[in-house]
Chain A
Amino acid sequence: MVPADQQSLILETVGLRKRFGGVLAVNGVDLSVPPGDIRAIIGPNGAGKTTLFNLITGDLAHDTGRIRFEGEEVSGLQPHQLCRRGMGRTFQITSIFRRLTALENVQTALIAHHRRHFNLLARAGRLYRDDAAGLLDRVGLLEQARKPSGILAHGDQRRLELAIALAGAPRLLLLDEPTAGMAPRERHEIMALVARIAADTGLTIVFTEHDMDVVFAVARRITVLHQGSVLADGPPAAVRANADVQRVYLGQRAAP
């Protein structure tokens, strides 16, 4: 049975461990994310952030430990099953359907979300057009709706991936470096957008990010990973003040 104080968590990992050959990429990670949180997971390159994401989303199988989503054990579920349960994600390397138009990208995600993707008879081009356009509008891409998504600018492709993920109406959204490859101003724009959507819909966000300005601007709570383990966990001010964190990670930049 799940203890009462854990029932309210949307995501929880306990002692999560993953070994690649001789490398312990994730070494006993405990993570507790309450609903409505905007959680940043930070850490130097190789700290295990992306591996942790891939374990949570079912892209990789963990060796030991537990993952609970909305109080239920979800270890061993496939990505598409987790997605249907209300988990969404974006990838570190932009992951869209490049030869489909932006609108078709989101329409396809909506078709899958409404479980109509085995329908052989309907005309897909007419399905969920308004909903898809609404989502594109939300991320600022309505003007680009008819373009093949592969020719969009890098930042627009990342916005499109956000719209695809939102089409699944997730309650938990995992963003793996959502601002990778963007200019500083655009980074703040897109994270402000994410925070606004989270506030409007009650969506819980877990994201990784290298830009500390962005992290401290939007995160409610920060988890610091180092060599596969949790080094610190707490509100931004506490993490910033943490001596261990300053030593291994923020050190150079946090110095006055």
Chain B
Amino acid sequence: MRPSRWLGLLAVVLALAPFALPPFFLQLLTEIAIVGLFATAFNLLMGFGGMVSFGHAAYFALGAYAPALLVKRAGLPMLLALPAAPLVAAAGALFFGFFIVRLSHTYFAMLSLAFAQIVFTVIFKWKALTGGDDGLLDVWPPALLKSPAAYYYFTLAIVALSLAALHAIVASPFGYALRSVRENPRRARFIGINVRRHQLVAFVISGAFSGVAGGLFAFYNGSVFPDFAYFTKSFEPLVVALLGGVQSFFGPLTGAFGFKILEWLVSRQWPVYWPLFLGIIVVLVIVVLPQGFVGLAGGRRLWSRLTSKA
């Protein structure tokens, strides 16, 4: 089947899910969609731009806190507050990214991590505004969207639109130039590309869509907490993208599905051991499936990899 057919089939299955699945699974699917968007936004940098951020929790958290604060402190309804998520996250990504893209590789990763820790600390310490460690509670969507099925459809629509936009960006002239920057910055400069500016624009786009994921999660969760910005949250899109496959646009989405389903299956039986399982799975994927879960699509290659003696 062609990819467009698969997408069509997936859309039908997802649209019918609320008629077949209990609310718990709709919530799981909602989370998968949010994490999938977060990881896909992250992978615009990693897979297509060759930039590994260790601090994307910052933009997820900015995207979660911005609408939550507007709802709690300014009394705005959710639908008016939510557009603040990508805007504030993009502004944060523009400010931090200005410094981060000046560095490369490990230094890029470490500075992005440092800025995310600053965001975490500010949220944690600024009790008067953010509630500090207690977070902001009762951040719920309006009655119309409150049921698991309604919020599931709402999330699905926003995530689908966001993914369509990201997919178009990857295939756009901007996306081609971004891949050329990933492949060879020196050559990219000498076809006339301002490499840092290109990286910064990619960083802002990635931050904005991470913010969308954060905003959706805030109202799904009904509350926001400082650990949305903590470094462990920054590693979530990294692990999810690696599991699914960073070379492919839909890799991170696939990774989010696998990650969340496995987490649910394992945690339900042995909640304490989930990190151990996750570690083993990550090692297995890196060794056996360097292209991630999407590499399974070429099933025969996997089989020959597993059975080859070399």
Does B169 count as interface, using CB distance less than 8 angstroms? yes
Q: Is the CB of B189 within 8 A of A80?
A: yes
Q: Which residues of A contact B (CB under 8 A)?
A: 57, 59, 78-80, 83-84, 88-89, 91, 95-100, 104-105, 107-109, 111-113, 115-125, 127, 161, 164-165, 167-168
Q: Is the CB of B190 within 8 A of A89?
A: yes
Q: Report the separation of the CA atoms of residues A168 and B188 in the bound assembly, to the nearest whole angstrom.
A: 12
Scan residues 161-187 of chain B and give those whose CB is less than 8 A from a CB of chain A: 168-169, 171-177, 179-180, 183-184, 186-187
How near does chain A come to B1, taking the closest CB pair, in angstroms?
22
Among B2-10, B56-64, B191-199, the stretch in contact with A: B191-199
Does B201 count as interface, using CB distance less than 8 angstroms? yes
Q: For residue A120, which residues in chain B have a CB less than 8 angstroms away from its CB?
A: 168-169, 172, 174
Q: Is the CB of A127 within 8 A of B173?
A: yes
13 contacts between A and B (CB under 8 A): A57-B190, A95-B190, A96-B187, A97-B180, A97-B183, A104-B176, A108-B180, A117-B198, A119-B174, A122-B173, A127-B173, A167-B191, A168-B192
Q: Is the CB of A83 within 8 A of B177?
A: no
Q: Is the CB of A83 within 8 A of B192?
A: yes
Lowest 3 CB-CB distances: which A-B pairs, in order? Answer: A117-B177, A97-B183, A79-B189
Give the most central of A83, A104, A120, A121: most B CB within 10 Å. A120
Q: Is the CB of B171 within 8 A of A123?
A: yes
Q: Report the separation of the CA atoms of residues A121 and B175 in the bound assembly, to the nearest whole angstrom.
A: 10
Q: Is the CB of B201 within 8 A of A108?
A: no
Q: Which residues of B contact A (CB under 8 A)?
A: 168-169, 171-177, 179-180, 183-184, 186-195, 198, 201
Give the most central of A98, A117, A121: most B CB within 10 Å. A117
How near does chain A come to B307, taking the closest CB pair, in angstroms?
26
Q: Is the CB of A118 within 8 A of B192?
A: no
Q: For residue B175, which residues in chain A have a CB less than 8 angstroms away from its CB?
A: 124
Q: Which of A78, A91, A99, A111 contacts B177 (CB 8 A)?
A: A111
Q: Is the CB of B176 within 8 A of A83?
A: no
Known: A99-B179, A117-B174, A117-B177. Is A112-B186 also a contact (CB below 8 A)? no
A-B contact count (CB 8 A): 102
5 extra interchain contacts, Cβ-Cβ under 8 A, other than A113-B192, A120-B169?
Answer: A57-B190, A91-B186, A96-B184, A111-B173, A164-B191
Q: Is the CB of B176 within 8 A of A80?
A: no
Q: Is the CB of A80 within 8 A of B173?
A: no
Q: Report the separation of the CA atoms of residues A78 and B175 in the bound assembly, to the nearest whole angstrom.
A: 22
Known: A89-B190, A112-B193, A167-B191. Is A125-B184 also a contact (CB below 8 A)? no
How near does chain B come to A88, taking the closest CB pair, in angstroms?
7
Known: A78-B194, A84-B192. Is A116-B173 also a contact (CB below 8 A)? yes
Q: Report the separation of the CA atoms of residues A204 and B201 in the bound assembly, to the nearest whole angstrom.
A: 35
Known: A107-B176, A118-B174, A120-B168. Is A99-B191 also a contact (CB below 8 A)? no
Known: A95-B184, A100-B183, A120-B169. Is A88-B190 also a contact (CB below 8 A)? yes
Q: Is the CB of B195 within 8 A of A80?
A: yes
Q: For residue A125, which residues in chain B have a CB less than 8 angstroms away from its CB?
A: 171
Q: Is the CB of B173 within 8 A of A91?
A: no
Known: A80-B194, A83-B192. Is A112-B177 also a contact (CB below 8 A)? yes
Known: A83-B190, A109-B191, A123-B172. Is A97-B184 also a contact (CB below 8 A)? yes
How near does chain A come to B219, taking the closest CB pair, in angstroms?
28
Known: A80-B194, A83-B192, A121-B168. Is A164-B173 also a contact (CB below 8 A)? no
How near does chain B come to A153, taking the closest CB pair, in angstroms?
19
Q: Report the separation of the CA atoms of residues A123 and B172 in the bound assembly, to the nearest whole angstrom.
A: 5
Q: Report the separation of the CA atoms of residues A119 and B186 in the bound assembly, to the nearest whole angstrom.
A: 21
Q: Report the separation of the CA atoms of residues A112 and B190 in the bound assembly, to the nearest whole angstrom.
A: 10
Q: For residue B195, which residues in chain A have a CB less than 8 angstroms away from its CB?
A: 80
Q: Is the CB of A121 within 8 A of B172?
A: yes
Q: For residue A99, which residues in chain B have a CB less than 8 angstroms away from its CB?
A: 179, 183
B172 and chain A: residue at smallest CB distance:
A120
Q: For residue B192, which residues in chain A have a CB less than 8 angstroms away from its CB?
A: 80, 83-84, 112-113, 115, 117, 168
Q: Report the separation of the CA atoms of residues A95 and B175 in the bound assembly, to the nearest whole angstrom.
A: 20
